[in-house]
Amino acid sequence: MDFTKRQITKIAREANKLTIQTMKEKGIGSGEFDLIHLVRHNPGISQKDAGQKLNMDKGAVARRVVSLELKGYLKRKENPDDARSRLLYATEKADSLKNSKAAVEAAFYTWLLEELSFEDREVFCNILEQLYLRSKAESRSGFIHLYERLNNAEVSSNEKS
């Protein structure tokens, strides 16, 4: 049973709506931001690999890269191992975009917690930190415990059929 009613996800979705609206004002769509984020975390990634990671076809990636290059968020450099391909790098402008996204999210969460007492905010933030650390550890392990639970639930569901 999900005691949280998926409210963490729902709150994050609302914060994301504000972020997307703010990014649109800067001329960046959510798909473009996803590509910028990927390149920032994988400097020197090829367009082909970026497309595979984002589940996009080659043409869509190429169009998005050109658009972001024209806007000054990405730059392409020749691949020293293959002159036919280009490697993608984020610019300083892309880094500042990340900072502005973080500022929007921080403003949203600050606003959200304003009505809580100092004590409630402290307790909530401590619990949130514990949950974050647990989720990050599970992610780094490849979600082994969760896949086990999901597979057991699937087996159990099939046995009832």
The mean pLDDT value for 121-134 works out to 97
Closest Cα to residue 13, out of 82, 112, 93? Answer: 112
- Give 13-28 pLDDT, tens digit per residue: 999 999 989 988 888 8
**Type of residue numbered 53:** K
Assess contact for 86 and 78: CB atoms under 8 A. yes
List the beta bridge partners of residue 19.
none
Q: Is 84 helix (H, G, I), strand (E, B) or coil?
A: strand
**Local confidence band at 12 (pLDDT 50, 70, 90 cut-offs):** very high
The mean pLDDT value for 96-108 works out to 87
Assess contact for 36 and 66: CB atoms under 8 A. no
**Local confidence band at 161 (pLDDT 50, 70, 90 cut-offs):** low
**Local confidence band at 8 (pLDDT 50, 70, 90 cut-offs):** very high
The pTM is what?
0.68
144-to-10, 98, 138, 139, 153 alpha-carbon distances in Å: 25, 31, 7, 8, 14
The mean pLDDT value for 30-54 works out to 93
| Centroid of chain to Cα 120 | 28
**Alpha carbon distance 101, 32 (integer Å):** 13
**What is the average pLDDT score of the chain?**
92
**17 C-beta neighbours (distance < 10 Å), count:** 11
Tell whether the model's pLDDT for residue 30 goes beyond 90: no
**Alpha carbon distance 72, 69 (integer Å):** 5
